[in-house]
Structure 1
Amino acid sequence: MRLLAMVGTDYHPFHRLVRWVDHWAMQQPGVECLIQYGTAMPPRHADGTAYAEPDQLGSWMDDAGILVCHAGPSTILEARRRGHLPIVVPRRALWGEHVDDHQERFAGRLAQSGHVLTAATQQEFDVLLDAALRDPRVVRRTDSDDDQRPDQAVRTFGALVAKLFR
């Protein structure tokens, strides 16, 4: 089993997600964990890289059994296109992880429609990872929606964003 966690490229550090994954990795020595940590502190237990080229990230996404990410729309769409039901931890302005809480609203909307799994606490996060470890189907797409087609993905994304601002 391989876990890939991605915080994206925003200049705000996302220490919280790195800590959560790193803590879980420490408890699961048989699971290969790679964290793309950006401007956050490097992990102590998991493997890590600050940044990677898009092709490399794509290859890692294809190889991952579990995919964890921030609530960046491009990251989520790419994860879903590659067959993942990503575990999403939205960045929060309260902790200096972003300028506002748009990721919280976006991830909440996607979770309501079953497009992502979300965790608001480390305990919720650990429960999701443990469930995925027991049964990898938990974090694989099983739906039949058509968001793997780029034109449909763009329309779906546009509709979701429009609903956020109503």
Structure 2
Amino acid sequence: MIFATVGTHEQPFNRLLEEIDRLKETGIILEDVIIQTGYSTYEPRYCEWHKLLPYDDMVKNVEHARIVITHGGPASFIMPLQIGKIPVVVPRQYEFHEHVNNHQAQFTKAVKERYGNIIPVYNISELADVIVRYDSIISSMPAGIMSNNGAFNKQVELLVKGLFRNDQETDRWQK
């Protein structure tokens, strides 16, 4: 299954929805597709779609999806990363009246350069190739992101182990 989300920004992201629907119609996408369309005006004809989904449903869809396609909003692609999925990120672009500026494209580029754990698609005509080659693309990429809680817990664990080691050495010197 493929799950796609365009978030909840009030400007439509019809360009992405139309392309996913076209790929499903032409048989490039063979599996089921569920799309959260937000405030887009295009209504997919070949995919299951919902304007908005409760967060729990979004998480379930991401967990069950083989491929997750998101817009460039950080919350939409960080959640799949936390679940261990490598999302395809199609940033909304100002030139298509999908957002107020190009911050999604800039942020997507920065995340790709720094972490390398997303697949950016800036030109919608490249989406079909990315979907077809998805498994081979992700085979050489890092999955997920390390949560701050996990990093914090690891540092505390090392600190505690060090303290116990020091306490044991102190006990030996006192005996």
Q: In 2, are the aligned partners of 1:34 and 1:46 still within 8 Å (CA)? A: yes
Counterpart position of 2:123: 121
Match of 2:3 in 1: 4
Tell me the residue number matched to 1:60. Answer: 61
Q: Using the TM superposition, give the Cα deviation of residue 144 of structure 1 relative to its aligned residue in structure 2, in angstroms.
A: 6.8
Aligned position for 2:166: none
Is this contact kept in 2: 1:84–1:139, CA < 8 A? no
Stretches of 4+ aligned residues off by more than 3 angstroms:
137-142, 150-153
19-28 vs 43-52, which moves further = 19-28
Matched residue pairs, number?
A: 148
Tell me how far apart the structure 2 counterparts of residues 23 and 92 of structure 1 sit (CA, whole Å). Answer: 20
Q: Deviations over 1:121-147 (max 9, x none)?
A: 232111100112xx3x634795277x3
Ranges in structure 1 where 5+ consecutive residues have no aligned partner: 154-166
The C-alpha deviation readout for 1:22-68, integer Å capped at 9, x for no partner, is 11111236310111111111111111111000001000000000000
Uncovered stretches (5+) of structure 2, i.e. residues with no partner: 152-175
Structure-1 residue corresponding to 2:113:
112
Whole-angstrom distance in 2 between the partners of 1:84 and 1:112? 18
Identical amino acids, percent of aligned pairs? 24
CA separation of 1:120 and 1:142: change in aligned 2, threshold 3 A? closer
In structure 1, the residue corresponding to 2:68 is in which secondary structure? strand
Of 40-49 and 113-122, deviating more is 113-122
Residue 38 of structure 2 is matched in structure 1 by: 38
Mapping for residues 1-166 of structure 1, pairs under 5 Å: 2-28=1-27, 30-40=30-40, 41-113=42-114, 114-132=116-134, 135=135, 138-139=137-138, 143=142, 147-151=145-149
- TM-score, reference length from structure 1: 0.81
